Structure 1
Amino acid sequence: SETPWPRCAGRMWRVFTLLGLLCDAAGGKKPGAALKKIPARSFTMGGDELSGAPGTVQVSLQEYKIDETPVTNAHFRKFVRATKYRTDAEKFGWSFVINSSLSEAALLEAERAVQDAPQWVAVEGAWWRQPEGSDSKQRANWDEFPAVHISWTDAIAYCEWAGKRLPTEAEWENAARGKRKESLYPWDDARPTANGRWMMNIWQGPFPQEDLGEDGYRGLSPVKAFPANSYGLYSTVGNVWEWTADPFRSRQSEEEQWTLKGGSFIDSVDGEFNHKATVVTRMGNTADSGSYNTGFRCATGKGGGGRKRPPDQKMLQKLAEEGGVEAVQEYLKKTGSDASVMTPEQLQKHRDRLKELQSEEL
């Protein structure tokens, strides 16, 4: 059965984006992880209900590039030092941590905030620099671990600074598969214990009582702890969920959510608990929610994924009523839409001008 995902009450930033969220790039080498080129192709996206995917669809993609790893602590630190950025977790003063990663002292001090999932604990002072709160473990190779407690808004901010953008869900899934178009894993369809070794960081043992660490890790792992796929991408399945640019549609929730991909270290091989960790695995969460197993990677290119969605019409209507055309235009600009907004008067002038041009041609 699926473990409820921790969602922070009141943590909501209403914003809409098209699938691309294009960023202005200044040229030259971009900050962060090395980019890997993904060639244009068509592939079958999605999977069965167990993966959270609503069936399959054929998608065609143009060439694009994507980070070889999730954004690491080292990458994120450079961004924070350059911009003085504060994550949502820092602003709220707490974030969710899985209880198996906490010390007894931290558990005693923490407030359990997820009624249906007591293994998720609201820990004061938990953020990307202190993943387990003030009692965080000291790791010699901390820079090589993925930045976590990252919200969708945090991920957007980093990608913009780096001259990149979030990948669409289609781009993410296509790249995660490697050169195989329909495999469930970054290597092929073989189970994660192929050739007698674990190929990704997921949970082994009874959940949530004990992670046996048969893959070499209890909890998070460095981003290059396991082999890369045929495109040179690391850690696309397991370890941390990764944000994408796509909205997430859910019949269970009316809240605006965004799509995460790939599962994390608390997920399982067959979906016996939490999610079945594969390249098609997906779920949604609100824009300002983050946790101990939430990260991201960036992409570049025109984006798209073959499935364009229009802006949220209710949101546009509300903005128009409260702030007029200027508010709508500013909203579309911030969210990466290339749509333009006209008042009725401007629209009539535009139509009159078109008529004039047509008359001149005649």
Structure 2
Amino acid sequence: MNRRARLSRPLTVLALVAALLAGSAPWATSAAASSSAADKPSVTLSKSQAGTGGSITVKGAGWRPDTLLMMLICGQSSPSRGVIGGTNSCANSEGRAVTTDGKGAFSKAMPVAEPPKPCPCVVHVATVTGQKAQSDAVFQVAGHPVKALPKTSGTGQLSMVADTRLEGSSGLLTWFGAPPSRTFTFTVGNVGSTPVKNPVFQVGTSHGVFAPQWEDQQWRGTVQPGRKAQIELPVELTAGAHGDYLVSLKYGGKVLAEQPWGVGRPWGVTLFWILLCVVVPAAVFRIGMAIVDRVRPRDRRGSRSAGGRTVRLPKVRLPQQKPKRSAPAPAHAAERPDGAAATTTLPWFTPDTGPERPVAGRLSAPPENSPTTKGNT
């Protein structure tokens, strides 16, 4: 009996431990479920309805600690479908920003304003920086018109597959401040049982800490159930935009994809202003000098005066050249009897051997000893 008792004690302890572990499993599961529920962002309102000019208190929990949030009152929205028209459906001027505490909670008073779209309305809270997170709470603006939400046949049946990119490049005009543009290319698949025809996507661009500016773009086509489709949507920024931008794609109130976009500075605009600051003053100076040169007075001689004094050029006297004297006639030159000047004896003849000068009006016969010369007869 003692041996059986000794053997039964360890078995009893093991059974108790197994029972405790089995009993603790539901507790662990409930604790994990509560922690996961606490991590999900949530928003609560102090009032479910208020009129313009009043205020409500917005409280939140489950957000990331020390995170900047934006609170807006939006029309044509619901917690299940989100803000259909994007921030264009919200009262942006009356929005408020709030930062969560170390536990991810916040409490902030917010004025009530009428959104540009009719109700149903929500108080939309979303993160500004970091990982995207959002939550909506139903709210009714007293006195604001109400309109039913559009039908959503096929909405929510598309899902992002892969191949998300921005295609295109900047041209020469973008370097001079033209609006940068790209093509947002992505692939979606229809996971529903009905075809999706002409889906409407929302493309938003954000810069820095500012919220995205959403724009509705409709794609013409049909995505059959279980099929894929490559979609291309144009994206364009404002003129002169530069820096780091983030392009977001939303469908059915859910953000499907995000793509960063780095835009270079338009240096051509800077070069243009530098040249303008140099060329314009130089042109004004030249025009002013031309006007001054034309309107200043002239003297009697036609010369223009500068500063009240006549500007005259100095006289230049050229040196006078003395006339050349003719060389004197040689001493042995004799005058002719008829008064004509005697010819000068050639250097290769002497006075004794020179030819005889013929007498005017009489022909002379050649000397006897002279050789006969040929000539014209």
Both proteins in one fold, TM over 0.5: no
- Which has more strand, going by share of residues? 2
TM superposition score category, shorter chain reference: under 0.3
Q: Tell me which of the two structures has the higher relative contact order, counting C-alpha pairs closer than 8 angstroms and 6 or more residues apart.
A: 1
TM-score, length of structure 1 as denominator length? 0.23
Larger CA Rg, structure 1 vs 2: 2
TM-score, normalised on structure 2?
Answer: 0.22
